[in-house]
Structure 1
Amino acid sequence: MARIRKNAIIFLQSVLILVLLCLVAFLLIRMRRQEEPSVPANAGITQNSQPEDVSVRPKGEIEIDWNYDLSGEKILLSDATYGQIYLPVYDNVPAFAQNRDQIVSRNGRRYYVSGGEITSDMGIDVSAHQGEIDWEKVKASGIDFVFIRIGYRTYGGGDVMADSMFRQNYEGAKVAGLQVGVYFFSQAISEEEAVEEANFVVRQLRDCQLDLPVTYDWELIYDDTARTDNVPVDVLTDCCLAFSGVVEHAGYEPMIYQNKRTSLLKLDLPRLQGISFWLAEYGSIPTYYYDCQYWQYSCKGKVPGIEGDVDLNLRFS
């Protein structure tokens, strides 16, 4: 029995030693693998050994063509959310026809000078907000023309109203010898409403003789909620065309008044070609890319015969 017990102990010791050796070998192999750098799964695969279902583009054959034309003019605007905004230029809409370097400022007024001579005309636009106006003093101060508000649509209820001072301003300006045109402040939200506004203007113009266009002045209301807040581009363009069509049919020259930003972002300009344009952009020169016949450059003008501020305008010859 003692011999058998001794042999059993020796066997168990041998097995234990073998297990320990195997464990040590396993740990050594694992440690070595951890110390070796990882190898990409496709390491050693050459172009010739690439699997057939993987497309390989030969070196030097990659070409990128976005069909992007880097030439030509670009219109850049600034926006509080997007920063700089890029707009393409319409090839079929005439660019600004004047030389901006020939626009000069003297005593708060703007003039266009050609060949050493002033070739532009000076004008204002007024409404009941200006109150009583001494038109003789206005004329004597060098003002050549005036656009008078004939009416407006309210931006809340959408009611069409006559300007309470239109007839008095019209008669006073005519007697003083100024050239006269009119404008209607629109808040139309449909083509039908624009036609309604134009018909209202035509009725108010009976017995009036105009020298200048009948202007469609559609404006966004920035400091309050208005019925025009969400008018689509196509609808606003339709309104401009509808108003102008009625006015022209009645024998008057139509014109569109608009500021630079709304014109570029809210009007389909190619559809409005052939209609005169009155630009509202305050500054020393107009930066608007496209052409205009009239330029409203200030809303803080001072003119003898008018108390308070008045809009100043320049007409290019």
Structure 2
Amino acid sequence: MSEPRRRIRFKSIAILEAVIILILTIALIWIAFIRGRDDAVAANSKSKGTDVRRRAVIEKEETFYQLDGKKLLMHDSSLGEVFVPVYADVPASTVDVNNISMRNGYAYYTENGEVNSENGIDVSEFQGEIDWEQVKQAGIDFAIIRVGYRTYGGGVVTYDEQFRNNIEGALAQGIKVGAYFYSQATTADEAVDEADAIIDALSGYDITYPVVYDWELVSGDAARTDDVSVEALADCCVSFCERIKDSGYTPMVYQNKTTAMHKLDIPRVKDYDFWLAEYSDKPSYYYDFKIWQYSNSGNVPGIEGNVDLNICFEPYGGKKADKADKSEKAE
């Protein structure tokens, strides 16, 4: 065979091999795409059965530059007054702080001359045995009860010693009940485990207020969460809340103002109700919140020692407490 023909043959073979490789590559990519689409589960999918619990598909997007030009002025212990930009796509609070009043140790929110809020507490085994009949008579409408916690040293998921007594005692008196888990999760998988623990514990109870993810930085001691990244914290929030929502409850995130503004990726958790902890006469948190924890040193008959006090601006669980009775207490 002459040299020119040999070269033409080699070129033809090389071109054919390249075409075959390209076709195989496209086919493999297509197969992978189809399988991935079929296997994916939407984050807000609902379980078809009570024993089926799905994991959230965590979708991430850059949120740092989603700003509207506004800024918030805050106070820093080292820098004094500082400002942070406002996220344009995160709903702002609609609570008119001028409508909040304090009477007899409780906060009330009035609209058009009527009380449009409910009084609540959150409790754990640290409050000991509670006389729920006295708590009800004291004007408490709802209670958010700690069901469990993860230890900040060993990371062991543990149930609160009083959670059943507290849930059953509150419900027996007609007090609306929510629940929370004190998390020390460092990964999304651990947050799912915590969600499963609280879902199992709440089975059979009439839970009308939210089921809350309470993740806190531990001050004054070393904790397993000291170095958790902003991204990991958001992953934990989403994983817990989606698991809770998939089980039919209303998910909620609890944070104090400082941690929320500096540690929480707010745009990633904007679709979940928020419970604000800010101990002051008026809340100053810019973004939307449904419950405000305004004191950690409240006194309520039936509870020995101090207890956290809360006000809910958009009451859960249907009919609100009797407005006439509440209005009289607020005067």
Residue of structure 2 in register with 1:137 after alignment: 134
Matched, 1:162 2:168: no
Give the letter aligned to residue 196 of structure 1: D
Residue of structure 1 in register with 2:318 after alignment: none
Matched, 1:112 2:106: no
Aligned partner (choices 94, 99, 119) of residue 96 of structure 2: 99
Secondary structure of 1:203's aligned partner: helix
Residue of structure 2 in register with 1:290 after alignment: 287
- 1:74–1:87 Cα contact (<8 Å) kept: yes
Residues 24-173 of structure 1 mapped to structure 2, 5 A cutoff = 73-173=70-170
Ranges in structure 2 where 5+ consecutive residues have no aligned partner: 1-67, 315-331
Equivalent-residue separation in structure 2 for 1:205 and 1:121 (angstroms): 23
Deviations 1:140-168 (A, max 9, x none): 11100000000000011111000000001
Secondary structure of 1:95's aligned partner: coil
Equivalent-residue separation in structure 1 for 2:224 and 2:74 (angstroms): 26
- 1:110–1:284 Cα contact (<8 Å) kept: no
Equivalent-residue separation in structure 2 for 1:129 and 1:148 (angstroms): 11
Matched, 1:260 2:274: no
Equivalent-residue separation in structure 2 for 1:95 and 1:273 (angstroms): 10
Structure showing greater Rg:
1
Equivalent-residue separation in structure 1 for 2:274 and 2:194 (angstroms): 19
Aligned partner (choices 214, 228, 231) of residue 231 of structure 1: 228
Residue of structure 2 in register with 1:196 after alignment: 193
Identity of aligned residues (%): 53
Secondary structure of 2:136's aligned partner: helix
Equivalent-residue separation in structure 2 for 1:108 and 1:72 (angstroms): 38
Secondary structure of 1:78's aligned partner: strand
Equivalent-residue separation in structure 2 for 1:164 and 1:278 (angstroms): 24
Residue of structure 2 in register with 1:211 after alignment: 208
Equivalent-residue separation in structure 2 for 1:274 and 1:256 (angstroms): 10
Deviations 1:107-147 (A, max 9, x none): 22111011222111000000000001010110011100000
- 2:69–2:85 Cα contact (<8 Å) kept: no
Secondary structure of 1:243's aligned partner: helix
Equivalent-residue separation in structure 1 for 2:101 and 2:203 (angstroms): 39
- 2:150–2:182 Cα contact (<8 Å) kept: yes
Task: State the Cα distance separating 1:72 from its structure 2 match.
Answer: 5.1
Equivalent-residue separation in structure 1 for 2:77 and 2:97 (angstroms): 28
Matched, 1:187 2:184: yes
Deviations 1:89-122 (A, max 9, x none): 0011111111111111112211101122211100
Which deviates more, 258-267 or 81-90? 81-90
- 2:119–2:142 Cα contact (<8 Å) kept: yes
Tell me which stretches of 4 or more aligned residues in structure 1 moved more than 2 Å: 80-85
Deviations 1:256-304 (A, max 9, x none): 0110010011111111122100000011110001110000000000001
Equivalent-residue separation in structure 1 for 2:125 and 2:304 (angstroms): 12
Equivalent-residue separation in structure 1 for 2:160 and 2:153 (angstroms): 17
Equivalent-residue separation in structure 2 for 1:206 and 1:105 (angstroms): 36
Secondary structure of 1:89's aligned partner: strand
Secondary structure of 1:198's aligned partner: helix
Aligned partner (choices 287, 305, 312) of residue 308 of structure 1: 305
- 1:133–1:305 Cα contact (<8 Å) kept: yes
Equivalent-residue separation in structure 2 for 1:238 and 1:227 (angstroms): 16
Q: Taking structure 1 as the reference length, what is the TM-score of the superposition? A: 0.76
Secondary structure of 1:139's aligned partner: helix
Q: Taking structure 2 as the reference length, what is the TM-score of the superposition? A: 0.73
Secondary structure of 1:73's aligned partner: strand
Higher relative contact order, chain-length normalized (CA < 8 Å, sep 6+): 2
Give the letter aligned to residue 136 of structure 1: E
Equivalent-residue separation in structure 2 for 1:223 and 1:77 (angstroms): 23
Task: State the Cα distance separating 1:211 from its structure 2 match.
Answer: 1.0
Residue of structure 2 in register with 1:280 after alignment: 277
Give the letter aligned to residue 124 of structure 1: I
Task: State the Cα distance separating 1:81 from its structure 2 match.
Answer: 2.5
Ranges in structure 1 where 5+ consecutive residues have no aligned partner: 1-70
Equivalent-residue separation in structure 1 for 2:78 and 2:120 (angstroms): 36
Residue of structure 2 in register with 1:18 after alignment: none
Equivalent-residue separation in structure 1 for 2:75 and 2:186 (angstroms): 27
- RMSD (Å) for aligned C-alpha atoms: 1.1
Give the letter aligned to residue 293 of structure 1: K
Which deviates more, 102-111 or 160-169? 102-111
